[in-house]
Amino acid sequence: MRLHRNLVFATIDSLHLIFNENKQADKVLKNTLKRDKRWGSRDRSFIAETTYDIVRWKRLYAEIAEVKEPFDRANLFRLFAVWATLNGIKIPDWPQFEHTPTRRIKGKFDELSKIRKYRESIPDWLDKLGEAELGKKWTTEIAALNQLADVVLRVNPLKASVKQVQAELLDAEIETETIPGFPYALKLKERANVFITDAFKKGWFEVQDASSQKVAEILSPEPGMRIIDACAGAGGKSLHIASLMENKGQVIALDIYGNKLKELKRRARRNGIHNIETRLIDTTKVIKKLKGSADKVLIDAPCTGLGVLKRNPDAKWKLQPEFLEKIKNTQQKLLVSYSKMVKTGGQLVYATCSILPSENSEQVATFLSSAAGNDFSLVQEEKIFPSKSGFDGFYIALLQHN
């Protein structure tokens, strides 16, 4: 592979914004990729995939390159040189790459790969936390979380069948395959930008990881029910729930951010869904009004996102130990407060995209032993680990209101 100057420069610029200006990787790349209209899909993939790779392996590469944050431009080129060398790409004779010690890079890689926190490229605190919470399992899970994520679609049965979506995408030269056990899922055989396809614009599918598709399945919504999605965000799960309800009944989508709910409405229109009502939680009254009113409530709780590091590797660097403590507090509060919206005989699903027991089963156990959880009992608990599933890490608990 021959390296092109403007693509490498665009990658370096993106890394500067992510590492030194604390910008979110997906947002940075969205902007970078707008920079040159002449870039084709291969050029775009190069920038995006290389940037994500260097973000994923930041600690390991920085250790090999012997550079420390904040990275100046020369340091960023050194990180890039490590990436290129380890990927068998010839370093061009540009001034930025003068004196790249190719041989030493490979030697240091072998040496550092013996130590988990370098091999898996994670901060010390996170490595300690993972081991304290998951024991030996941590080694396999963090390795799985460093693999590139598959692109998985969820077919919208209100608009198309799985076969129809497969055929239409094939016409656009995008090959997909079904995933056993996931009735609406299609996995892309190769990465592609599905957002520009007609099938996407017609609302035939959404991009949603297979593990995430389990949440609505376990909630098992039925047409005619009243379901509250209490942390709906931009509606990944709300859309799934509404489609399973065949547009009959009511989904009330709540969140504390109005812009996310606005995006949810836009997505619902594209999906041909008209039974979702959004409500902004701007006072505690919003929740009080819904007391005892729902057949089912979903709490897709805010969390560390440690189960989705595959698709969000910069979380390794942005997460802080204090955030974990704060978010655990919020999770328990949400369980206590939002469970009140479930009617007697109804059900509650608590889900996170984390693999830490302290955000998952321990939260549910604390809730069940509290006064608020007294009337609830645990029916089903799914701990989805990326090493086993091959998809994102998730936790899903189904509770019955007796």
Contacts with ligand SAM by CB under 6 A lie at 230-237, 254-257, 260, 281, 300, 302, 334
Q: Which is nearer to ligand SAM, 128 or 260 (CB)?
A: 260
Tell me, yes or no, if 353 is annotated catalytic.
Answer: yes
Going from the C-alpha of 356 to that of each of 130, 141, 349, 360, 361, the distances in angstroms are: 8, 11, 17, 6, 9
Going from the C-alpha of 259 to that of each of 96, 204, 329, the distances in angstroms are: 42, 24, 24
Q: At its nearest, how many Å lie between ligand SAM and the CB of residue 173?
A: 29
Residues 6+ positions from 282 with CB-CB distance below 8 Å: 256
Q: At its nearest, how many Å lie between ligand SAM and the CB of residue 117?
A: 27
Separation CA 203–CA 186 (nearest Å): 15
Q: Which is nearer to ligand SAM, 105 or 153 (CB)?
A: 153
Phi, psi of 398 (to 5 degrees): -105, 125
Strand ranges inside 327-386, DSSP E: 342-352, 376-384
Cβ atoms of 205 and 161 closer than 8 Å:
no
Do the annotations mark residue 282 as ligand-binding? yes
Do the annotations mark residue 124 as ligand-binding? no
Q: At its nearest, how many Å lie between ligand SAM and the CB of residue 76?
A: 32
Q: Fill in the DSSP letter of residue 16.
A: I
Q: At its nearest, how many Å lie between ligand SAM and the CB of residue 130?
A: 20
Q: Which is nearer to ligand SAM, 157 or 302 (CB)?
A: 302
Q: Which is nearer to ligand SAM, 16 or 237 (CB)?
A: 237
Cβ atoms of 362 and 328 closer than 8 Å:
no
Cβ atoms of 184 and 244 closer than 8 Å:
no
Q: At its nearest, how many Å lie between ligand SAM and the CB of residue 301?
A: 6
Strand ranges inside 61-141, DSSP E: none
Q: At its nearest, how many Å lie between ligand SAM and the CB of residue 237?
A: 4
Do the annotations mark residue 300 as ligand-binding? yes
Q: How many CB atoms lie within 10 A of CB 10?
A: 24
Q: Which is nearer to ligand SAM, 295 or 392 (CB)?
A: 392
Bridge partners of residue 380, in order along the sequence: 398
Cβ atoms of 184 and 157 closer than 8 Å:
yes
If you search the block for the tokens 């994520």, which residue do you land on?
A: 149
Cβ atoms of 138 and 131 closer than 8 Å:
yes
Separation CA 293–CA 343 (nearest Å): 5
Q: Which is nearer to ligand SAM, 108 or 237 (CB)?
A: 237
Separation CA 218–CA 225 (nearest Å): 15
From 289, 232, 293, select the one nearest 265 (Cα to Cα).
Answer: 232
Q: Which is nearer to ligand SAM, 235 or 346 (CB)?
A: 235
Separation CA 370–CA 6 (nearest Å): 58
CA 70 centroid distance within chain: 27
Cβ atoms of 203 and 274 closer than 8 Å:
no
Among the listed residues 219, 353, 396, 398, the single catalytic one is 353
Q: At its nearest, how many Å lie between ligand SAM and the CB of residue 240?
A: 8
For the record, the structure tokens of 297 come out as 């409530």
Is 164 exposed, middle or buried, given 0-12, 13-18 or 19+ CB atoms closer than 10 A? Answer: middle
Catalytic residues: 353
Binding region for S-adenosyl-L-methionine? 255, 282, 300
Binding region? 255, 282, 300
